Amino acid sequence: MSTTPQDISKVGVIGCGLMGSGIAEVCARAGLDTLVYEVTTEALAAGRNRVEQSLGKATDRGKLTAQERDNALDALSFTTDLDAFADRDLAVEAAPENAEMKLGIFSTLDRIMVQPDALMTSNTSSIPIMKLASATTRPGQVMGLHFFSPAPVLDLVELVPTLKTDDTAWQRLHHFAADVLGRRVVVSQDRAGFVVNALLIPYLLSAIRMFESGFALAQDIDDGMVRGCAHSMGPLQLADHIGLDTTLAIAESLYAEFKEPLYAPPPLLSRMVEAGHLGRKAGRGFYDHSLR
């Protein structure tokens, strides 16, 4: 039987943290049968609560009707058993930015997903997709599907094919992202950082170096870019929002690929991550978020 671009109806999301929960919500709001996986029941409960709160806020703000919220909730299911992904048409890996962890997930998905044309995608911010595809026996069906946080609000998605991507698989994923989910699609070659983070991370690291050197205070750096360049958020505030651990992981991946000094993580960033000062999610980063 031939496949059509419309045949993706069952989606699996691996990970229900900040990104995974947002991706799951986007898929559920599009009316897709959406199964979400987490490693522990505690993480799964936290993720479910995150999605429910987000849908509730969207309803309160008039972005969703009560019926649309209820339909999205009905489309969602949750599991700690990755074997439940056997019938999925599409899997979206949204695990932490750790290459070895992601390679293990893709190897497992390759074994589990029984649909011969199932698509396996990664929400990675920086890891080359071909590296992840090499963990499978069907690399032509592995691509990058990179959302931005918060996924229910920001409509951009980066699509990343590899040297092995199958044309039909690519057409199906592009149709899914652009037409089923209604995302604004940008296409990147398979290189660390893709389009957005290859430009964004050097900017954030430059701001961290400026602060680290004592050149300017954090608030002054951020105010300069918000009020002087019309950015919606300053670079240090944005790093806190992204997570300093994630910012560090992306920088390390970029530096490993390109060996260019602008991608090298500043020592202060490494020390802050080691200290657990990870930004907004930890309550402390360049700012004290417990007071906000």
**Active-site amino acid positions:** 125, 146, 158, 197
Cα–Cα distance measured from residue 25 to residue 174, given in angstroms and rounded to the nearest whole number: 19
Residue with tokens 């994630």: 246
Residue 46, token pair as written in the block: 């936290």
266 SS3 class: coil
Cα–Cα distance measured from residue 290 to residue 292, given in angstroms and rounded to the nearest whole number: 6
Q: For the chain, where are the alpha helices, taking DSSP H only?
A: 18-29, 41-60, 66-75, 99-112, 129-133, 167-175, 196-212, 218-229, 235-242, 244-258, 267-274
* Dihedral of alpha carbons 283, 270, 144, 121, sign: negative
Q: Which residues contact 227 (CB under 8 A, 6 or more apart)?
A: none
Q: For 146-185, where are the alpha helices, taking DSSP H only?
A: 167-175
286 SS3 class: coil
Residue 214, token pair as written in the block: 């004592």
Apex 94 CA angle, 174 and 63, nearest 5 = 70
Q: In the chain, what is the straight-line distance between the N-terminal and C-terminal CA atoms, in Å?
A: 55
Cα–Cα distance measured from residue 208 to residue 236, given in angstroms and rounded to the nearest whole number: 7
30 SS3 class: coil
